[in-house]
Structure 1
Amino acid sequence: MDSNLVLIVITSYFLLLFLISWFTSRKLTADTFFTGDRQSPWFLVAFGMIGASLSGVTFISVPGEVGNSNFYYFQLVLGYTVGYTVIAKLLLPLYYRLNLVSIYAYLESRFGFWSYKTGAFFFILSRTLGSSIRVFLVAGVMQLILFDQWGIPFWVSVLITVVLIWLYTFRGGIKTVVWTDTLQTLFMLLAVVVSIVLVAKELGLTGLGDLMLTVSEQPYARIFDWDWKSETNFFKQFFSGAFIVIVMTGLDQDMMQKNLTCRNLKDAQKNMFWFTNILVVVNLIFLALGVLLYMYAEANQISLPERTDDLYPLLATSYFSTFVGLVFVLGITAAAYSSADSTLTALTTSFCYDFLEIDKKYDRQKASGMRKKVHLGFTLLMFLVILGFRWINDQSVINAVFTIAGYTYGPLLGLYSFGLFTTKQVRDRWVPVLAVLAPLISYLLSLQSEAWFGGYKFGFELLILNGMLMFAGLWLVSRSNQ
């Protein structure tokens, strides 16, 4: 692929982002960065959240994973619908009733200081690791198809990446992110649809009906796995999907901050309903693309890469037309930035409100200056963490870090469940200890599960176990609410 064309496309894309940033930053108030002035149209938030939910990892991983686990991933997606219903009916009313900016402030009012700081800390830890890995993985693809050809070292390309994110978010914050996420989602979906149309044409498929029938007849299109020992068993996947959504959306400042920019609770719930339906369809489209990619590779006798994650990038940049390759580059760039920009804004919001308490301790001018310093600080931190992953350069270690990031949501699940479904108070000083013990015990059980539980393998449901352990620990250190 011509690197000059790629550079022109990416440059044009960022010029468009900066145009949106300028447009959304013209009329700012002290709260615009954190709340978007609570004026975001619900349909805009719903569409933009698609890109933020999928991220660059999903963009390149889900189609390739079809070769390993068929459509079993869709069982997880079906569970999402339950999780999003819980968020819309239980969590959003709570956040709007308390008029929260940082959702972790609920923990202080319910339990106390240490519970509050523990929840916010685990979010910051998890999001810093998770989002940095996502940017790192996508940056590797961009390095291969563009920056290597220009002789630009990896650290320079990553520095350019994080600086660009900082530049178009440091003024408008979440208000800018809501609009840029919409654009990024559009480009991501455009890349997938264009790829499907091209592959379908190459395979001689005519019309949507013929395409759907062909995909459904492939062995890859098997959705349900009823083997109870399997990591992809339906019940494990379905219930895990529900809880994953509750913690990684409903208890995540990054995702909830977008919802809290809606004008009122009714709009936020409407946004969640439509977002859920669109997300189910979009994931099905990604899986269908995966089937078509494997069919295309087989029909053209293309050797499959060792890592399934490399299948889509390989075909898009080396075998498809230049146009499709450029659209793919645009899509993967959008996928990477839709996750990184909102994460940077959410990390800044959480640290400013949950640790610096700028709404209580600073006047508006000093608060604005402090917010800019924190925003710049997290930009630098993300840059250093990404370089750290590059230095490690070990896929197994990176996967382990991703797993660790997932473990950190278990304590949040236990804390919020205990707060919402019991009336007990806890001995607040014990909460940080419990938040460390629950993931450690979960990890130990996952290592020994086959030996201790008759060959049973934990999958995503380990998150549920983690939350239950945290809940049990809180019960042990609780006392009746007087």
Structure 2
Amino acid sequence: MQILDLAVIGAYLIATAWLGLRLSGKQSTVKDYFLGGRDLPWWAVSLSVVATETSALTVIGIPVMSYLGNISYLQLGVGYILGRVIVAYLMLPRYYDGEMVTAYAYLGRRFGPSTQTTAGITFLFTRLMADGVRVLAAAIPLKVILDGLGLHTSYFVIIVVLAVVTILYTFIGGITAVVWVDVAQMLLYVLGGLLSLVVITSAIGGGWLGEAIAAGKTQLVVLEGNPISGADSLIPSLLGGTVFAMASHGSDQLVVQRLLTCRSKVEAQKALIWSGVIVVVQFAIFLAVGLALWGYFDGSSPQELGLTRDDEVFPKFIIEGLPAGISGLLLAGILAAAMSTLSSSLSALSSSTVTDVVEKLRGRPLEAREGLRVGRWATIAWGLAFIIPATFFRSDEGNIVVLALGIAGITYGGLLGAFLFGIVNRRASARDANIAFVLAVATTTFFFVMEKYVTGEVWVAWQWYPLLGVIVTFAVGGLLSLTHPPVAHAEDRLDEPIER
């Protein structure tokens, strides 16, 4: 790293913060702070959705998949598009027709406040764990930079600094600032991926692609393998990816909050579907980067390169292989993108805390100013809380993308199952939904813990977690609903808009 690179990183982070604050506007109510007044253009929301769900995880995690394996991860992208289409026409209309602030307000309308609070608390815990991994993703390239300068710093110190800086940024800017910064960050790190391909090709020629093809690393469709435990197989990637996208984009407040900032339901649907297409293109770019790096490093393993984590391969090239200035720009993009994703999580967590937990436990809506104050304090609290899981997972040697998706998948099935169960089963009560939801989460948690901390073997691939949770929810909830008369309720009471 040269002084020019460090100057670029510093200048870009300052410019990003200025951009976010400049475009944030004023927030005087919860709706302003959490939904941007529902006045953001669909294309900006679409790019923000992509940046939020991938960001630093994509930049440093996706290349190592093709570096060590092949490009079969693209199979998952097809399922992601299908899942988004289903969400756009099945679930989004219910959120917009009810003028809701969070995804879990629908469960409150359908089953009552106990189910909404249960789902909200579960989201808070899972998002804390999954995005703790995202904080770690941001810390990885920064640690490589500092080690290269001889400034050996622990992951813990880096994680604390990133969390504190992001808290300050999110506390002031609100969701409007987060969305616009997401747009800038996504464009930057995708450009960085393309520049990396150009630099590698200029350095070693275009032969890396032919070598990758000859080595079987461009295999896209994987038909062999156990369809249950084989995470790279077509069936779990396609079907599991579809259900995973339905859960992540239909029941995860992190994404739903962005979609609710659009000006209309139609624009939200457009933003959601196009985000799926953009994600596939983004996956393809960074998988190509992984193949190019494989050629650049002559197929050396991460250990042979002197690295402690597989995910450090691309950061190593950024620092050692890119020209001065460009490496600083790309590293700045990785850090800022990760921080904007973390700020997205903070906004989603604080909005769910206010709407799904605090207001429901108090039994009344908070006044505009009071809700804004509680939301900002919640932002600070969750930002500090991220330090714990990020530090805990720093010793995990697996791929950081798979780790984050696996953690998120633990509760995705229960959340999606509760939504679909409420739509399909008109007999069900809050008790049925709550018990089914808890058992669904317990089931997926069992498989995750067994794989990561007990046996070390994959019994059920992470792509199946959401579908498994949906099946358990429908089975348990359906049986419980037969033990009592049908519950009388209005059609989700969506004709009663929430006044805020």
> Would the TM-score normalized by the shorter structure come out above 0.5?
yes
Alignment partner, residue 237 of structure 1: 237
User: Distance between the aligned counterparts of 2:301 and 2:344, measured in 1?
Assistant: 41
When structure 1 is superposed on structure 2, of 411-420 and 165-174 the one drifting more is 165-174
Q: How does 1:269-348 map to 2 (within 5 A)?
A: 269-298=269-298, 303-304=304-305, 307-348=309-350
| Aligned-pair CA distance for 1:382 | 1.6
Alignment partner, residue 26 of structure 1: 25
Please say if 1:80 is aligned against 2:80: yes
Alignment partner, residue 10 of structure 2: 11
Alignment partner, residue 219 of structure 2: 222
Alignment partner, residue 414 of structure 1: 417
Paired AA for residue 347 in structure 2: T
For the Cα contact (< 8 Å) 2:13–2:332, is it kept in 1?
no
* 1:243-266, Cα deviation, whole Å (9 max, x unpaired): 111111221111111111111111
Q: How does 1:6-405 map to 2 (within 5 A)?
A: 6-30=5-29, 31-146=31-146, 149-150=150-151, 154-205=155-206, 219-229=216-226, 230-298=230-298, 303-304=304-305, 307-357=309-359, 360-390=364-394, 393-395=395-397, 403-405=406-408
When structure 1 is superposed on structure 2, of 401-410 and 58-67 the one drifting more is 401-410
Alignment partner, residue 451 of structure 1: none
User: Distance between the aligned counterparts of 2:316 and 2:211, measured in 1?
Assistant: 23
For the Cα contact (< 8 Å) 2:67–2:293, is it kept in 1?
no
Give the direction of change, closer, same or farther, for the CA distance of 1:77–1:397 in structure 2 (3 Å limit): closer
For the Cα contact (< 8 Å) 1:96–1:265, is it kept in 2?
yes
User: Distance between the aligned counterparts of 2:285 and 2:358, measured in 1?
Assistant: 43
User: Distance between the aligned counterparts of 1:299 and 1:39, measured in 2?
Assistant: 49
Give the direction of change, closer, same or farther, for the CA distance of 1:340–1:299 in structure 2 (3 Å limit): closer
| Aligned-pair CA distance for 1:419 | 1.2
Paired AA for residue 365 in structure 1: R
User: Distance between the aligned counterparts of 2:164 and 2:276, measured in 1?
Assistant: 32
For the Cα contact (< 8 Å) 1:104–1:354, is it kept in 2?
yes
User: Distance between the aligned counterparts of 1:301 and 1:362, measured in 2?
Assistant: 55
Paired AA for residue 268 in structure 2: A
Give the direction of change, closer, same or farther, for the CA distance of 1:290–1:469 in structure 2 (3 Å limit): same
User: Distance between the aligned counterparts of 2:194 and 2:276, measured in 1?
Assistant: 20
User: Distance between the aligned counterparts of 2:288 and 2:403, measured in 1?
Assistant: 29
Give the direction of change, closer, same or farther, for the CA distance of 1:142–1:295 in structure 2 (3 Å limit): same
When structure 1 is superposed on structure 2, of 278-287 and 313-322 the one drifting more is 313-322
| Aligned-pair CA distance for 1:133 | 1.3
When structure 1 is superposed on structure 2, of 41-50 and 348-357 the one drifting more is 41-50
Secondary structure, counterpart of 1:100 in structure 2: coil
* 1:5-60, Cα deviation, whole Å (9 max, x unpaired): 44322321221122123322333331211110011011111122222121312221
- Aligned length in residues: 468
List alignment gaps of at least 5 residues for structure 1: 449-454
For the Cα contact (< 8 Å) 1:62–1:290, is it kept in 2?
yes
When structure 1 is superposed on structure 2, of 135-144 and 249-258 the one drifting more is 135-144
For the Cα contact (< 8 Å) 2:260–2:268, is it kept in 1?
yes
Secondary structure, counterpart of 2:103 in structure 1: coil
Give the direction of change, closer, same or farther, for the CA distance of 1:306–1:169 in structure 2 (3 Å limit): closer
TM-score w.r.t. length of structure 1: 0.88
Secondary structure, counterpart of 1:425 in structure 2: coil
| Aligned-pair CA distance for 1:213 | 7.4
When structure 1 is superposed on structure 2, of 115-124 and 155-164 the one drifting more is 155-164
Secondary structure, counterpart of 2:297 in structure 1: helix
Paired AA for residue 223 in structure 1: L
Give the direction of change, closer, same or farther, for the CA distance of 1:300–1:380 in structure 2 (3 Å limit): closer
Give the direction of change, closer, same or farther, for the CA distance of 1:78–1:214 in structure 2 (3 Å limit): farther
When structure 1 is superposed on structure 2, of 160-169 and 381-390 the one drifting more is 381-390
| Aligned-pair CA distance for 1:346 | 0.4
Secondary structure, counterpart of 1:316 in structure 2: helix
Give the direction of change, closer, same or farther, for the CA distance of 1:355–1:445 in structure 2 (3 Å limit): closer
For the Cα contact (< 8 Å) 2:318–2:327, is it kept in 1?
yes
For the Cα contact (< 8 Å) 1:129–1:402, is it kept in 2?
no
Alignment partner, residue 454 of structure 2: none
* 1:323-355, Cα deviation, whole Å (9 max, x unpaired): 442233123213311320100010000001111
User: Distance between the aligned counterparts of 2:366 and 2:179, measured in 1?
Assistant: 27
Give the direction of change, closer, same or farther, for the CA distance of 1:332–1:232 in structure 2 (3 Å limit): same
User: Distance between the aligned counterparts of 1:96 and 1:130, measured in 2?
Assistant: 27
| Aligned-pair CA distance for 1:192 | 0.4
When structure 1 is superposed on structure 2, of 124-133 and 24-33 the one drifting more is 24-33
When structure 1 is superposed on structure 2, of 321-330 and 254-263 the one drifting more is 321-330
Paired AA for residue 186 in structure 2: T
TM-score w.r.t. length of structure 2: 0.85
Give the direction of change, closer, same or farther, for the CA distance of 1:435–1:481 in structure 2 (3 Å limit): closer
* 1:201-232, Cα deviation, whole Å (9 max, x unpaired): 22323xxxx99878666621100111151332
Secondary structure, counterpart of 1:411 in structure 2: helix
Question: What's the % identity of the aligned pairs?
Answer: 28
For the Cα contact (< 8 Å) 2:138–2:339, is it kept in 1?
no
User: Distance between the aligned counterparts of 1:10 and 1:359, measured in 2?
Assistant: 47
Secondary structure, counterpart of 2:443 in structure 1: helix
Give the direction of change, closer, same or farther, for the CA distance of 1:385–1:201 in structure 2 (3 Å limit): same
* 1:342-383, Cα deviation, whole Å (9 max, x unpaired): 000100000011111299443233222222211211122123
Alignment partner, residue 455 of structure 2: none
User: Distance between the aligned counterparts of 2:55 and 2:479, measured in 1?
Assistant: 38
